[in-house]
Amino acid sequence: MSRDFANLQLKLLKEERDIEVNETLAMLNKYHPQALQKRGLGLTNLSICSIKTGAAGRTVIQLERDRSLPQNLPTHLLRTGDSVRLTPYSAPQKDAKTPTGVVLRITKTSVTVVLDMLDDEQVPLYQARYWIVKLVNDATFKRMTLAMEKIRDETIELTQLARILLQDPLIASPTTTEAICEIKFFDSMLNESQKEAVKFALQANHVAVIHGPPGTGKTSTLIELILQFLARGLKVLVCGPSNISVDNIVERLSRCNINPLRIGHPARLLSTVLNHCLEYRILLSDDRPILHDIKSELDTIITRLSKKIRNAKERKALWDSVSALRKEYQKREKACVEKIIKSSHCILTTCHGAGSHYLNAHKFDVVIIDEASQALEASCWIPILKGRKLVLAGDHLQLPPTIKSKSDRKGPGTLDYSLFDRLLHTYREKVTRTLEIQYRMHEKIMRFPSDSLYHGKLKADEKVKGHLLSDLPDVQETEDTTQPLIFYDTIGGNFPEQITDEEEFKLLVESKSNEMEALVVKKHVIALTNAGVKNEDIAVITPYNAQVGQLSILLGDLFINLEIGSVDGFQGREKEAVIVSLVRSNDKREIGFLAEKRRLNVAMTRPKRHLCIVGDSETVSRDSFLKQWIQFLEDEADVRYPDVYETVQYRK
């Protein structure tokens, strides 16, 4: 099994990587720097304004636009944490490598990059001008591939945990220990299903899955579980598919008097967790003074090297010193890091970050992966190979990881079939406990997703089951704010969808929009805000990117703090009021990717007090799940039929 499994994963990963890398290469080959800048993917005419030595002895450079140009950077899509390539304009030295790095900081006028290369004296720092371009981060694929190669390698002995996860026929299926009678819970607020999940995960010998439907306090449950493991003297590695999923847990743990260690590129972390990151811990260590001295010496030499030195002997001597100092720095830093990691019982990083060289020699009693239903299985294996026991948390009924490679099939054997899905499917309640009380949605908003997807098991907590917008301070009682569920049915063909071509990198992607629906949304947002609901308490979401554009044009300037975005981008978030524009309205009753239940589930479970749906009941009822939903809305929601002539007035 392990061989076949690893071979299939390697094949799927390669297909996915090829698509990503080829798209980027095609784009880089096709466009010159100015055109990349125009698309927001690059910045041109930059010069170095400062050079410093950062963590791990890496060179950190700050770039600004040439003095002859306006000092503000042109509009761009570069973000902190992006990988970039830095190319000099003038002909590079023979054999010179083009440096790459990670964006550390971006201001209106400058971009700061931490260079990846450590021992390369060819980095042409003295060049006058550079341009930078955003790259695909290939490192993720490399680490996932490495994990799969380890599983495939029959000379490497797999842990009991790995063999259970790979359904090795020689190993019994997952087991639990004797029931733990007395648990003293740290959080006295936990409900029964949360307590049961914690207990179950403590008792599991190798693997436990916590299924957390929307709003059910999955993070609170995980925090309790981590505290329980730590109280038992166990060493815990906590991971998630994204930096934000990990940082959320770091923030929550630090409020519980735990001092977790966060491993990750500081440029990619929330500012609120930086005091837990490894680099900060190094600053607090006894080794700091000596590391600081080496850094200062490096800074001085690197600054000299950034001016063009014509004497080759002198340049060589300076680079030799840089190289020696960097080695010294890395040796001392490595020893310091080892001490910090050894003494930390709770380490947090992304699944990909678990493959960091810092953790190479370290094993953990427990690996916890949050949002596991959104992680590729191969990425989960990076931390799993370091652990004895695994706890996964997530919700397989919300959206899976986003991938680019298309498959005709769904389910087992595809790249977006997660480990979470696989374990639920294979072992069901033998490994799973589900959280049942949700603390987000009004009961009426919860009812349909609960009945149709969660076997009717979700219950709304007393505090939220009847809460309305009109209960918020300064919000008046109106026909809108006293309704938890409103459905604007645009049936009749007067609110038709449009096909819009969207350019995404080099590809023209067909997307759908619906101007008339956007106008109905505008009318509703105006009604809510006139009643006193704050802009920032409202989100407008839609499955189609072209409709996000349409809505932004109509509403963006009018309501600065209103959030407008795609359903996929809103997973994991919540707002007091959410308006969903379904977009599809056509004679053929085509519904495209609206038919994905998991996307609809995300859309309908984001609001706390008010859900407003705008859509054409006739078109969308083509799909059986949507048909059930529409029937539910017709029975339970305040159904409204917008008037065409009144709606077009909102174009103004």
Binding site residues, ligand ATP, CB under 6 A: 189-191, 194, 212, 214-220, 439
Q: What angle do CA 361, 365, 371 make, to 5 degrees?
A: 95
Q: Which residue number, 43 or 250, has a Cβ lying nearer to ligand ATP?
A: 250
d(CA 443, CA 457): 12
DSSP helix/strand/coil, 98: coil
Minimum Å gap between C-beta 191 and ligand ATP is 4
> CB-wise, 179 or 189, nearer to ligand ATP?
189
Alpha-carbon distance of 485 to 607, in angstroms, equals 10
- Closer residue to ligand ATP (CB): 6 or 223: 223
Length, in residues, of the chain? 652
Residue closer to ligand ATP, measured from CB, 206 or 608? 608
The residue to which tokens 């645009």 are assigned: 490
- Beta-sheet strand order (sheet of 207-211): 261-262, 346-350, 236-240, 364-369, 387-394, 207-211, 432-434
Q: Between residues 62 and 434, which has the closer beta carbon with respect to ligand ATP?
A: 434
Nearer to ligand ATP by Cβ, of 57 and 240: the residue is: 240
* Minimal distance, residue 350 CB to ligand ATP, in Å: 17
Residue 288 CB, nearest approach to ligand ATP (Å): 36
Cα–Cα distance measured from residue 309 to residue 245, given in angstroms and rounded to the nearest whole number: 47
Cβ atoms of residues 427 and 406 within 8 Å: no
Question: CA-to-CA distance for 123 and 182, rounded, in angstroms?
Answer: 61
Task: Provide the sign of the torsion angle of the four alpha carbons 561, 566, 567, 573, taken in this order.
Answer: negative
Can you read off the two tokens belonging to residue 36? 């990349």
Q: Which residues pair with 504 in a beta bridge?
A: 507
The CB-nearest residue to ligand ATP is 217
Q: Up-side HSE of residue 270: CA atoms within 13 Å toward CB?
A: 14
Q: How far is the CB of 279 from ligand ATP (least distance, A)?
A: 27
Between 43 and 208, CB nearer to ligand ATP: 208
Full DSSP string of 35-58: HHHHTTSEEEEEEEEEEEE-GGG-
Task: Give CA–CA dist 348/262, Å, rounded.
Answer: 5
Euclidean distance between CA atoms 419 and 413, whole angstroms: 11
Q: How far apart are CA 199 and CA 180, in angstroms?
A: 7
Distance between CA atoms of residues 221 and 198, nearest Å: 7
Q: Tell me the closest approach of the beta carbon of residue 174 to ligand ATP, in angstroms.
A: 24
Give the residue with the Cβ less far from ligand ATP, 224 or 623.
224
Rounded to the nearest 10 degrees, how much is the dihedral formed by the CA atoms of 440, 441, 447, 451?
A: -20
Bin 607: left if φ > 0, else alpha if -120 < ψ < 50, else beta: beta
Cβ atoms 115, 101 nearer than 8 A: yes
Pairwise CA distance, residues 165 & 190, whole Å: 29
Closest Cα to residue 93, out of 63, 59, 127, 60?
A: 127
Listed in order, strand segments (DSSP E) in 371-506 are 387-394, 432-434, 437-438, 459-460, 485-489, 498-504
Residue 189 vs 312, nearer CB to ligand ATP: 189
Instruction: Report the residue number, 191 or 228, with the smaller CB distance to ligand ATP.
Output: 191
Cβ-contact 532, 475 below 8 angstroms: yes
Min. distance of Cβ 566 from ligand ATP in angstroms?
A: 18
Given the complex with ligand ATP, which of 212 and 607 has the nearer CB atom?
Answer: 212
CB of 429 vs ligand ATP, minimal distance in Å = 20
The residue (of 351 and 518) whose beta carbon lies closer to ligand ATP is 351
Percent of the chain that is helix, strand, coil (3-state, to 5): 45, 20, 35
For the bound state, the minimum distance from the C-beta of residue 343 to ligand ATP, rounded and expressed in Å, comes to 28
Q: How far is the CB of 572 from ligand ATP (least distance, A)?
A: 6
Residue type, 109: T
The residue with tokens 């080829």 is 22
Alpha helices, H only, 559-616: 597-604
Query: Would you state the structure tokens that stand for residue 318, as one six-digit string?
Result: 């300076």
Q: How far is the CB of 463 from ligand ATP (least distance, A)?
A: 7
Q: How far is the CB of 601 from ligand ATP (least distance, A)?
A: 12
CB nearer to ligand ATP: give 450 or 483. 450
CB 15 to ligand ATP: min, Å: 31
Taking the least distance from each CB to ligand ATP, the nearer of 190 and 604 is: 190
- Shortest reach from residue 280's CB to ligand ATP, in Å: 25
Q: Give 140's Cβ-side CA count (13 Å radius).
A: 21
Tell me if 188 sits within 8 A of 258, measured CB to CB: no
The contacts of residue 473 (CB under 8 Å, 6+ apart) are none
In whole angstroms, the minimum distance from the beta carbon of 212 to ligand ATP comes to: 5
Compare residues 99 and 212 and give the one whose CB is closer to ligand ATP: 212
For the CB of residue 272, give the shortest distance to ligand ATP in the complex, in Å.
Answer: 15
Give the nearest distance from C-beta 521 to ligand ATP in angstroms.
24
Contact yes or no for 111/67 (Cβ under 8 A): no
Q: Indicate the residue among 191 and 619 with the shorter CB distance to ligand ATP.
A: 191
